[in-house]
Structures are given as C-alpha cells and as structure tokens.
Amino acid sequence: MAEKKSYVFEENNVPFQICHATNCLALDNNDLLVTWFAGSREGNNDIAIWISRFSKGEWEKSVVIADDKEEPNWNPVLHQLKGGRLLLFYKVGRDIHSWRTMIRISDDRGKTWTEPRELVPGDKGGRGPVRTKVLTLSDYSLLAGSSSEQGVWTTFTDRSIDEGKSWVRSESIALDDISYHGEKTVSHTDIEVSEQSFYGRGIIQPTLWESKSGNVHMLMRSSEGRIYRADSADFGKTWSSAYATSLPNNNSGIDVVQLTNGSLVLCYNPVAENWGKRSPLRLAISKDNGNTWKDIYTLEEGEGEYSYPSITRKDQTIYLSYTWNRKRVAVWQFEEKELEE
C-alpha cells in the first residue's frame, strides 16, 4: 500500500447500496484482509458479510463470505491464531438484543471457509467479539469484548483458553447512575442506522488492551457523551466498575491499538453528543496507559459519516479501516514512528 490512504472498492463497482462496520487484519503472510457488512440498508435481510484482500500491491475483488439470507448479518471480526488458522465471527438476527454469534474457520488464510456454526449454541444476545478485535493475552488466552443492547446497555468480555472452541463470559458491566424506560434517545439524526439502535442507554462495543501480564483495560462507546473505561487485574475474568474518561464520544464505535513501546493509539470521533455527527475522525495517542490523550492526526473532517474504525498492528505497521459515508471502505497505513513523532 504505497499511499497512506486507499479505498477497497470503487463506489459504483459493487452490487450494494450501503456498507458499514469494517474490521481489518494483517496476516502472517503480510496480506491485509478487510471485512464489513453490506446490502440495501442496515438491518435488511440482504445484509451480508463481505471481504477483500490486499495482496501484491492491489485490492482483490470483494466477495461475500457469509449470508444468512433470511435475516441480516452484522459486525464481522477476524482473528488469526498462532498456527495460521483464521476465525471469522459475525452476528445474525433481526433484533440486536437477540443476535446469534456465528463462527467460520479458514485454514488457507481466508480463501475458503467452513460452514458456519453457533459460537455458543443456543445463545441469544451475542457472545464473542461484538465489533472490535480479539486479543491474544500474555497467558495465551483469547479475550473478546462484547455487549448487550436491551434496555440499559451493558458490556462484558468473553474468554477462551482453547483457541476459540469454548468461551466463558464475565459478569456484565453497567453504568450505575442511568435509567431507561423504553423511550427514544434521539429525536433527529441523519445517521443511517437500524431504527432499533435509537433505543437504549449505556455502554457497548468495548475495545481492549493489556498493559502488563493479566492487567487488561477497555474503552467503551456510550450514550452519555464520553468514552468510558473499566480495568481488570485477572486476564479479564472480573472487571472494575465503568468510569468516564475525558474523551468525548458521540455514541459511535471506537478502537484502540497498543504500539510496540506500550503507547496507545485511539481512533474516534471527538464529538460529545449522543448520536452526534460522525465527523471528524481522528487519531489520539496516550503514553501513560490511557490516562491522558493527545490528538495527533485527522483522518477525515467536514460533512459526512466517517465511523466505526478498526485499528490493528503487525510488527511496527499500523492498519486501520472505517466506514466512508456508508458508500466505501477506507483504509490507512502508518508506521509507528509516524505516530510517535
């Protein structure tokens, strides 16, 4: 990727009207995979999971890798295990509060996939990663950030010690000082999301990092105008209460990645309004484990929706993808030293 910024596909060269919720992953062979959901409108039955590969200097043709056909598909997340096996997690269901999490597996770096199966058989509500990447912790367990959107939104984590075959759920993390009685939380917005998203308050879609062995932290999207945080000292088995940070949040997705020297880079919309504008989209850096932050780069600004970033690192290269006006998938590449200067 010679340019810092590229687009996975041209807007007029795909058979869908909208795309959203990207997730990117740099593979062990240096290919870059980006996946997202797309169709006619968020929440419609034709919403499927798409993927594209950046290899040998160009983006390959985007293809569908999961399509339930009878219900919408949501929020794909890719993860590569140490031996090379790829895991694809995604949600299926019309109602967000009763999502089922599906998993497909690839042993050829995403060229072919197994048939889907439920990640946790019988679950209704969505286990495993809800939107952001899965962490491989220092004890080799997998930790996924998840959440529930029913009434008061809550966050939790799922932990696996057998490479994703089984999962143990943490207790839910909730905000103690909010109430919700079924009313809409926004009266007008230009954001094209499923109508059900405008109901509920709380914290969802955590993004995770491990500062030292066993000490894991999360930042969470919220309806309260701020990014919230919680901390764990036991590999994500138990968590502190959630507390507000100084970072603004517009009730839209965020993502964080840890650099090789321990600094954190956050991608977010710095807008302190529930269902506020999803512009600008910026990078911020923290050199004290997320206690303080400094904006360092503006990826997008002006009118439009630039949202739901996915940010990951391979060696000292940072990759990030996001929704560009619901019409395209934008991808950036940085070297760590560019973000530390």
Q: pLDDT tens-digit profile of 313-328?
A: 999 999 999 999 999 9
Long-range CB contacts (< 8 A, 24+ apart) of 179-184? 179/152, 180/151, 180/152, 182/151
Predicted confidence band of residue 1 (pLDDT cuts 50, 70, 90) = very low
Residue range 252-293, pLDDT digits in tens = 999 999 999 999 999 999 999 999 999 999 999 999 999 999
At 187 the pLDDT is 81
Q: Phi and psi for 340 in degrees, rounded to 5?
A: -90, -15
What local confidence, expressed as pLDDT, does residue 2 receive? 43
Structure tokens at 87: 């895991």
Domain residue extents for the chain: 5-340
Q: Is the whole-model pTM more than 0.85? A: yes
Mean pLDDT for 127-132 is: 98
Indicate the average pLDDT of the chain.
96
pLDDT bracket for residue 42 (50, 70, 90): very high
Considering only CA atoms, which of 180, 166, 165, 176 is closest in space to residue 97?
A: 180
pLDDT of residue 157: 98
**Bridge-partner residues for 37, per DSSP?**
20, 49
DSSP for 48-62, please give it: EEEEEEEETTEEPPP
CA–CA dist 297, 291 (Å, integer): 19
Q: Which residue type is seen at 79?
A: H
Q: Please give the pLDDT value at position 48.
A: 98
> What is the mean predicted confidence (pLDDT) over 49-67?
96
Q: Is the pLDDT of residue 13 over 90?
A: no
Mean pLDDT of 25-32: 96
CB 137 within 8 A of CB 112: no
Asked whether 214 and 144 are in contact (CB, 8 A), the reply is no
The answer to whether the CB of 5 falls within 8 A of the CB of 331 is: yes
pLDDT of residue 340: 83
Rounded to the nearest 10°, the torsion over CA 26, 28, 31, 36 is -40
Task: For 148-201, write each residue's pLDDT tens digit.
Answer: 999 999 999 999 999 999 999 999 999 998 989 999 999 888 899 999 999 999
| pLDDT for position 3 | 62
CATH annotation of 5-340: 2.120.10.10
Which residue, 312, 289, 284, is CA-closest to 299?
Answer: 284
